[in-house]
């Protein structure tokens, strides 16, 4: 994980580096630091904690110099202390790094034997010492870097400064992403184009194994064999607007409230004015797809699990789904002519990207559902069907999730239509229900105070159980994930029918149990599960529609009536109450809602 930036130009580097880091803080916020060359000497300032601590330190101790690098950290090797904060440096070299050097122990032992003194517990510090060691043996910065890169195993995006070389900045990547920005009389590097957006929209994405020399007026790119290569300059459409919270107290709340417009925006390119389905031309025919494989992590994987139910029920298409981090290591066979759907908000999740490559190498067509069109996953796909959610800043994914569901349902309907598995009238009815979801979500949002009030009761609880059946089972897991990641309350999501096989032992009068149970075909079954909980004194919080609440609301601890919808679109609606409940529980408990501890928005390490 982590975010890196670099600048070389005629102006002072520090202001650009800080602005770039602010835009990359979603990648980690355990510590931050910058280094510049001042009169050829490496100077650096680092601080533990959020970027604001670094900003304060720099006010007292400003750094000057027109070439510099910066880093915002999500700790992997070594605690989140100042000593472990990047940049890591010697008297010759300073390095910022996103990724993991897997052979750092051997390299460190080798370098320590040669007399190098290490001052951190990080894997990154070996890079600074390796390059310095090469330079002490007479190599130029370029030769020293190229030789060091060949000794590294693992993933990295790097920014490197060299003492005495005010005219040079080197960037390199393998596994982790790195974007280079072309300015009028400055060049930039950053973990993504968003970091560079205020400065330039002319972006080159390094390919795996590339390294680049950045000068004030030009960039020279080398491939992994050191051959000079040309890489395309893209014009990025990212805006440099500062993304604000508007009237909301947190980005997460703003993003929850954006869902009606995000779903509309995501749907718009996929339907005609007369509400008919109009997906982009796909590089495969649904009729010939023997099996779909859906791969993702975290919240995106729960969207994928809902997708599995939709593709199977509506299009009679067999679907395998797995967490991207598990998938490739179990070495599953993949069918000829198969399609892999890759889901990711950031488009940079390392596990998901690795799973994509596994599927691609096994001949699968890759369809990705991503929110960042220039991301690594988007660029590695055969086709991208985007979620048009706009930047999602809160670490807890909300609007990206419902946008992913929107795309998945549209794709499942397209598959059903092509495969002739549903009558046209049913497809049209579902599409109409989907188009109406923004209005229905609007009514849930108008009931925010109900969830705010319910969350007061989560002030002192230590565990919560979320239960649902069928399409609501993935939502139970999503509700539990939302709650634990931002409120730090232990929560579990379970299929309601499975409760009696173990989790029922947890039920006592202190345990809130959130049931998601619209009055659909599974309602009677879920009702039995609700009774099993109330009989044991559990505190049932029922989320249902009017019919469901009328039937059993009086017999549970609390019941909330949500709008009635076609059961097939219910996951989109039921996402919102569990988001609001988690949000308000986190507020009640006083946690950092948008930047919860130990997490980062984009997880670019395996
Ligand atoms: C969700 O709230 C999480 N923070 C996390 O599970 C996230 O969904 C996961 O890391 C996948 O990220 P991606 O969608 O950017 O690939």
In tens, the pLDDT along 380-410 reads: 999 999 999 988 989 999 999 999 999 999 9
Rounded to whole angstroms, the Cα distance separating 566 from 313 reads: 14
Ligand 1 within 6 A of 297 CB? Answer: yes
CB 582 within 8 A of CB 594: no
From 210, 242, 274, the end of a domain falls on: 242
Whether residue 472 lies inside any domain: the answer is yes
- H or E element that contains 572: helix 570-589
Residues 537 and 423 reside in one and the same domain: no
Q: How large is the average pLDDT for residues 128-139?
A: 97
Examine residue 567 and state whether it is found in any structural domain, yes or no.
yes
Ligand 1 atom closest to the CA of 599, numbered from 1: 4
Alpha helices in 268-334 (DSSP H): 298-315, 324-327
Counting ligand 1 atoms within 8 A of each CB, the residue from 349, 368, 384 with the most, and so the one to mutate, is 349
Same domain, 303 and 435: yes
Q: Within this chain, do residues 377 and 314 fall inside the same structural domain, yes or no?
A: yes
Question: Domain end: 445, 466, 488, which one?
Answer: 445
47 found inside a domain: yes
3-state SS of the chain: helix, strand, coil percent to 5? 40, 25, 35
What domain range is 139 assigned to? 3-242
* Domain-located, residue 606: no
Confidence at 28, pLDDT banded by 50, 70, 90: confident
Residue 444 alpha carbon to ligand 1 centre in Å = 24
CATH of the domain at 339: 3.40.50.10490
pLDDT at 467: 96
Domain for residue 602, yes or no?
no
Which pLDDT score, from 0 to 100, does residue 204 have?
96
Supply the pLDDT for residue 180: 97
Distance CA 359, CA 174 (A): 20
Is residue 605 in some structural domain?
A: no
pLDDT digits (tens, 9 = 90+) for 204-263: 999 999 999 999 999 999 999 999 999 999 988 766 655 678 899 999 999 999 999 999
Torsion sign, CA atoms 518, 522, 524, 530: negative
Cβ contact 35:108 at 8 Å: no
Q: What is the pLDDT of residue 241?
A: 59
Q: Indicate the pLDDT class of residue 372, thresholds 50, 70 and 90.
A: confident
Calculate what percentage of the chain has a pLDDT beyond 70: 99
Whether residue 605 is predicted with pLDDT greater than 80 in this model: the reply is no
* 104 compared with 246, residue with greater pLDDT: 104
232 part of a folded domain: yes
Residues 170 and 273 in one domain: no
If asked whether residues 128 and 42 sit together in one domain, one would say yes
| Shared domain check, 301 and 359 | yes
Three-state DSSP at 8 gives strand
Of the three residues 388, 423, 445, the one that is the final residue of a domain is: 445
Instruction: Indicate if ligand 1 lies below 6 Å from the C-beta of 352.
Output: yes
| pLDDT, mean of residues 329-344 | 96
Span 492-543, pLDDT tens digits:
999 999 988 998 899 999 999 999 999 988 888 888 889 889 988 889 999 9
pLDDT at 194: 84
Residue 604 lies inside a defined structural domain of this protein: no
8 Å CB contact between 296 and 327: no
More confident call, 523 vs 342: 342
348 Cα distance to chain centroid: 7
Mean pLDDT of the residues in the chain: 94
Q: Is 300 in the pocket of ligand 1 (CB under 6 A)?
A: yes
Same domain? 439 vs 456: no
Q: How many domains does the chain have?
A: 3
270-312 pLDDT per residue, tens: 999 888 899 999 999 999 999 999 999 999 999 999 999 999 9
Residues 249 and 187 in one domain: no
The residue whose CA is least distant from atom 6 of ligand 1 is 298
Residue with the nearest Cα to atom 2 of ligand 1?
A: 396
Please tell me whether residues 226 and 335 are part of one structural domain: no
Give pLDDT tens digits for 419-473.
999 999 999 999 999 999 999 999 999 999 999 999 999 999 999 999 999 999 9
Q: Show which residues are catalytic.
A: 2, 601
Q: Say whether both 514 and 452 belong to one domain.
A: yes
Both 162 and 110 in a single domain?
yes
pLDDT the model gives residue 368: 98
Q: What pLDDT score was predicted for residue 75? A: 82
For residues 412 and 162, give the distance between their C-alpha atoms in angstroms, rounded to a whole number.
53
190 and 300 both lie in a single domain: no
């Amino acid at each position: 994980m982590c975010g890196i930036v670099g600048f070389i130009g005629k102006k002072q580097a520090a202001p650009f580096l800080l602005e770039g880091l602010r835009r990359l803080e979603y990648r980690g916020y355990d510590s931050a630091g910058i280094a510049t060359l001042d009169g050829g000497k490496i100077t650096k300032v680092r601080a533990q904690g959020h970027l604001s601590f670094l900003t304060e330190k720099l006010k007292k101790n400003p750094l000057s110099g027109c070439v510099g690098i910066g880093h915002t950290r999500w700790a992997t090797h070594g605690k989140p202390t100042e000593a472990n904060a990047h940049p890591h440096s010697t008297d010759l070299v300073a390095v910022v790094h996103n990724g993991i050097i897997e052979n750092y122990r051997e390299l460190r032992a080798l370098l320590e034997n040669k007399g190098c003194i290490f001052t951190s517990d990080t894997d990154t510090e070996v890079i600074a010492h390796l390059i310095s060691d090469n330079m002490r043996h007479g190599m130029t910065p370029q030769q020293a870097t190229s030789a060091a890169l060949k000794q590294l195993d693992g993933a990295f995006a790097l920014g490197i400064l060299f003492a005495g070389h005010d005219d040079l900045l080197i960037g390199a990547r393998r596994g982790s992403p790195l974007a280079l920005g072309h300015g009028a009389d400055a060049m930039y590097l950053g973990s993504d184009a968003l970091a560079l957006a205020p400065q330039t929209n002319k972006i080159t994405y390094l390919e795996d194994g590339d390294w680049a020399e950045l000068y004030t007026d030009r960039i020279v790119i080398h491939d992994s064999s050191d051959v000079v290569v040309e890489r395309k300059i893209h014009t990025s459409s990212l805006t440099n607007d500062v993304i604000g919270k508007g009237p909301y107290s947190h980005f997460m709340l703003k993003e929850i409230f954006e869902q009606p417009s995000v779903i509309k925006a995501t749907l718009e390119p996929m339907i005609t004015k007369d509400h008919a389905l109009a997906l982009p031309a796909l590089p495969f025919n649904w009729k010939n797809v023997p099996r779909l494989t859906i791969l993702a992590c975290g919240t995106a994987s729960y969207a994928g699990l809902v997708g599995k139910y939709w593709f199977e029920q509506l299009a009679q298409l067999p679907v395998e789904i797995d967490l991207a981090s598990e998938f490739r290591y179990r070495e599953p066979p993949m069918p000829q002519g198969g399609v892999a759907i890759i889901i990711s908000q950031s488009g940079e999740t390392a596990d998901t990207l690795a799973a994509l490559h596994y599927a691609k190498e096994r001949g699968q067509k890759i369809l990705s559902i991503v929110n960042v069109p220039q991301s690594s996953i988007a660029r590695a796909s055969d086709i991208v069907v985007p979620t048009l959610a706009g930047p999602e800043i809160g670490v807890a994914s909300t609007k990206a999730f419902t946008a992913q569901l929107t795309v998945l349902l549209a794709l499942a309907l397209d598959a059903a239509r092509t495969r002739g598995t549903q009558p046209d009238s049913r497809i049209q009815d579902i599409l109409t229900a989907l188009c109406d979801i923004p209005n229905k979500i609007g009514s849930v949002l108008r009931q925010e105070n109900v969830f705010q009030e319910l969350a007061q009761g989560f002030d002192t609880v230590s565990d919560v159980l979320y239960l649902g059946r069928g399409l609501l089972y993935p939502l139970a897991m999503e509700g539990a994930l939302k709650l634990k990641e931002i409120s730090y309350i232990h929560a579990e999501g379970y299929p309601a029918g499975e409760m009696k096989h173990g989790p029922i032992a947890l039920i006592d009068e202190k345990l809130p149990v959130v049931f998601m149970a619209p009055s659909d075909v599974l309602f009677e079954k879920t009702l039995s599960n609700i009774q099993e909980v109330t009989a044991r004194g559990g505190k049932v919080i029922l989320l249902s529609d009017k019919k469901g609440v009328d039937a059993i609301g009086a017999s549970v601890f609390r019941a909330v009536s949500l709008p009635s919808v076609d059961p097939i679109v219910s996951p989109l609606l039921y996402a919102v109450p569990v988001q609001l409940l988690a949000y308000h529980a986190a507020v009640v408990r006083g946690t950092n809602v948008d930047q919860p501890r130990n997490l980062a928005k984009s997880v670019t390490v395996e």
